[in-house]
Amino acid sequence: MANESGLIFAKGVLYMDPDGDNIELGEIQDISFEVRDTVKEAKGRGLFSLAVELAERAVSVRASWLRVKAQGLAKLTGGEITYADDKTTISVGKDSMPATFKMKLSTPSDGSDIEIILHKVRPANFTLPLQLKEFTKPNAEFNVMVDEATDKVFDIILPGYQSVS
């Protein structure tokens, strides 16, 4: 879906552990990838800064979806899955903690427009709203950290050779 003027975003897919289990989180409704920078400034006598330096960079992901698969829900909550009596149960105990994992965002699902690889992600907040006779969307937030093994935070992969010429 790439065109000459840039990228067109369509349905996206979110995978956890793309180098291992390739767990798809279900039918994604909305997803956002955010990089927020905080700067510190050295000011002179005038109104303008003499120097500006990056003080902090935070990378996060927010996602909401219509249907969550059991394996993805277990990863989001740190729970354990059991199967018995024709039911799937995800049990979360007092010491359950979601593990960090690698995450892959792509649009469309084959990644032909854009792929974002997040090298170390931890679920931060998970909301599962319940309402009578209304549609609700489960959502989660993820914090992205540096992977100490590779010193990488994220990769953005674009199709083709995206030169300035």
CATH of the domain at 126: 2.30.110
In a domain, 5, yes or no: no
Torsion of Cα atoms, 148 then 95 then 140 then 35, to 10°: -30
What's the confidence (pLDDT) of residue 86? 95
Tokens encoding 55? 């003080």
Report H helices in the chain. Answer: 70-77
**pLDDT bracket for residue 2 (50, 70, 90):** very low
Domains identified in the chain, total number: 1
Domain range enclosing 113: 13-157
In a domain, 113, yes or no: yes
What's the confidence (pLDDT) of residue 8? 46
In a domain, 138, yes or no: yes
In a domain, 73, yes or no: yes
Torsion sign (Cα): 62, 27, 110, 152:
positive
In a domain, 36, yes or no: yes
**Greater model confidence, 72 or 28:** 72
Residue 65: DSSP 8-state: E
Q: 49-68 and 139-144 as β-strands: parallel, antiparallel, unpaired?
A: antiparallel
Percentage of the chain modeled with pLDDT above 70: 85
Whether pLDDT at 9 is above 50: no
Residues 6+ apart with CB under 8 A from 57: 35, 36, 37, 38
**Greater model confidence, 95 or 131:** 95
Q: Which of 100, 106, 105, 141 is CA-nearest to residue 120?
A: 100
Tokens encoding 158? 């674009």
